[in-house]
A and B are shown apart, each in its own frame.
Chain A
Amino acid sequence: MIPTYIVDDVHSDRYIARRRLQKSGAFAPLTEATDGMDFLARFFDPEAPRDADQPALILMDINMPQLDGFETLEALKARLAEGDASGGQPPVVAMFSSSDNERDIRRSAETGVVEHYFTKPIDDEAIAIILETFRSRGLPL
């Protein structure tokens, strides 16, 4: 099972993502964060159970109060580079946004950590692509 973080300030969007991921049966535990700060606190929580061989999936919204999706990823990269304890394998990051505008797609590519860019609502096709990423790398599901 893939430990997954859903980062979104809109309650309904977190709910839709949670339901879709639950239906596929491959993602657990599901952790929801209401903004970037909340996510960082949960992701780097030393008390959180982790599996050193199992990379996490992060579904990251872009437009959020306080830290937006890009700022949150910069903070994540910085803390991972500092060797902040978060578990062994680097996470797989997928942006999921209400917009597919060029500027955000380009910025996502420039982060160096975003592997997928999906527009909301997240659907089964997006989930299949994410699973294929894990499979093709021989990562556990």
Chain B
Amino acid sequence: MIYASSATHGSDAGMTAALWPQGQAAGFATAVQLNPVPAMLVGQDGRIQMANTALEKMFGHGPESLAGQSLHRLLPESARKRHDQLMQTYWTNATQRDMGRGRELFGCRADGKLIPVEIGLAPVNVGDRELIFVTVLDITERKASEHRLLAALDASASAMVLLTRAGEIELLNRAACRILGADPRQLIGTTLDSHVSPDAWTGFDDLREIYFDQPVPKPITGGHVIRLRQPSGQETPVQISLSPTGDDDRAHVMATLVDMSKSFAHEAELKARNDRLAALSDELTQFAYSASHDLRAPLATISGLLELCLEDFDDGEFEECRANIEEALQTSQRNIRKVETVLTLARMGAEGTTPEVVDLTQAITTCWDGLRIPRPAFTLEIDGPAQVLTERVTLMTAVEHLLTNACQFQDPAKPDHWVAVRIRTHSDPCSIAVSDNGAGIPESEIPRIFDIFRRSSASAGDGLGLALVQKHVRRLGGSVAVTSCEEGTTFILTFPGMERRA
């Protein structure tokens, strides 16, 4: 008799008697048999030396029917080959360990039904033989609970990760998988810390330790946002809250990850919108201020002139009276055009024109030829065919203003006068530079030249031209820069997003 449990298995003891010597080995076998946990002893050849009653029952086999059988009897067919390889590997370094960490293991019952199991391995010496003491736990119930828990977690919109005290992921829902960019098989068993972006906040590990000393639900990141990195390198900003779960022995922590991407994107969009509104508001304030001066100014002038006319008329000063009426008339005519330009300026941004393919060389040459003012020498330099997709009228209005200014602010002290345009469309960004060798703009004036109604003392204009240029160029997603010295002035229009067309 070997088995202490021979009372249970009675007459079958004969077979095992052949396999098992008396003495110490018998005592060991008795211990295995008495073990309430399903257990067996397995030889290096993969054959079951003995199995206890609990294991036999679990797998639906008759008493002692497993002794001498291959382990394959307990394995699903699909796992047998891989298991043989694993067993060989195990024997090269046989140590106590648990199997199945991070992946699901199944045993196969006699009736073919699969049971989820957790397996413990320990090498033992029985007599002069090296065996493995194998415990097999049926985790069907636990798996069912986990599935119920997972289903509940999956139903949550938040990403949830169940962590062990060591910070390893034991369970996580779909939302968490999405954030971490991998499937549960790849993630379970890894630490959450290993998914924290290395160049982001790295104190998560320390805070988790502190948390275990005082486990109460709290936002661990304290409102801070940490970035989790996916295997692909994509990062997601999250806020993490921790809640304790389980008892002291199996202390776990449930980490809730709140994906802040959308919130951040929303905030960024709101900020961009606020910035645009603030810019518009500033522009409107500036416009109202300028309008209060510059649109009222001609009316005040006309009013003052007409008052003097009346007085001159009463005094019989008809010549003076006539001169002032003419002056008032000219002022009003000048300002009809000015009001129209102001309205164009105010409407800019609200309305655009449909982008079309514009040959810049042709358009600028035509524009130059069409200027109805005295023109100096002109050169046009290009770095290749210059066809772009843009709003023709918007762009060419800006260029026309710059060409007109370049013609008007020539320096009479210089013997030769010229205007040069340089087009760059074959390097990023596209740019159009309008240069002249004119009188230049005083340095103190440069910061204000684009202000509405700001005009040069040498200009007979209404101070709207460069404001209009800037607004047109900005509408096309570009910017205007200016450099000026005594040798002349260059305006450079730069369009980072402008599309080239063949």
- Residues of chain A touching chain B, judged by Cβ–Cβ distance below 8 Å, are 9-10, 12-13, 15-16, 19, 34-35, 62-66, 97-99, 101, 103, 119-123
Contacts and interface: CB of A to CB of B under 8 A. Distances in A.
B194 to A, nearest CB: 59
15 contacts: A10-B301, A12-B305, A12-B328, A12-B331, A13-B297, A13-B300, A13-B301, A15-B305, A19-B308, A65-B445, A66-B442, A66-B445, A99-B297, A103-B289, A120-B300
| Residue from A10, A12, A16, A63 with most neighbouring chain B CB atoms (10 Å) | A12
Given A65-B456, A66-B442, A66-B457, 13 more contacts: A10-B297, A12-B328, A13-B297, A13-B301, A15-B305, A98-B293, A98-B294, A98-B297, A99-B289, A101-B292, A120-B297, A120-B301, A121-B303
Contacts of A10: 297, 301
B457 A35 contact: yes
B496 interface: no
Contact of A121 (B301, B456, B457): B301
Looking at chain B's contact residues, the main secondary structure is helix
Interface residues of B, number: 25
A66 B304 CA distance: 25
B89 interface: no
Contacts of B303: 121
Contacts of B305: 12, 15-16, 121
A15 B307 CA distance: 13
A28 to B, nearest CB: 19
B296 interface: yes
Contacts of B331: 12
Interface string B420-452: 000000000000000000000010110000000
Contacts, number: 67
B454 interface: yes
Contacts of B328: 12
A84 to B, nearest CB: 20
A12 B304 CA distance: 9
B301 A99 contact: no
Contact of B289 (A9, A101, A119, A123): A101
| 6 residue pairs, one from A and one from B, having the closest CB atoms | A121-B304, A98-B297, A16-B304, A120-B300, A65-B457, A99-B292
Nearest to B296: A98
A93 B292 CA distance: 22
Nearest to B327: A12
B59 interface: no
A127 to B, nearest CB: 13
Contacts of A16: 301, 304-305, 308
Contact of B457 (A12, A34, A101): A34
A62 B301 contact: no
Contact of A97 (B293, B301, B308, B444): B293
B106 interface: no
B296 A99 contact: yes
A141 B327 CA distance: 32
Contacts of A13: 297, 300-301, 304
Contact of B453 (A35, A63, A122, A123): A63
Contacts of B456: 65
A98 B304 CA distance: 11
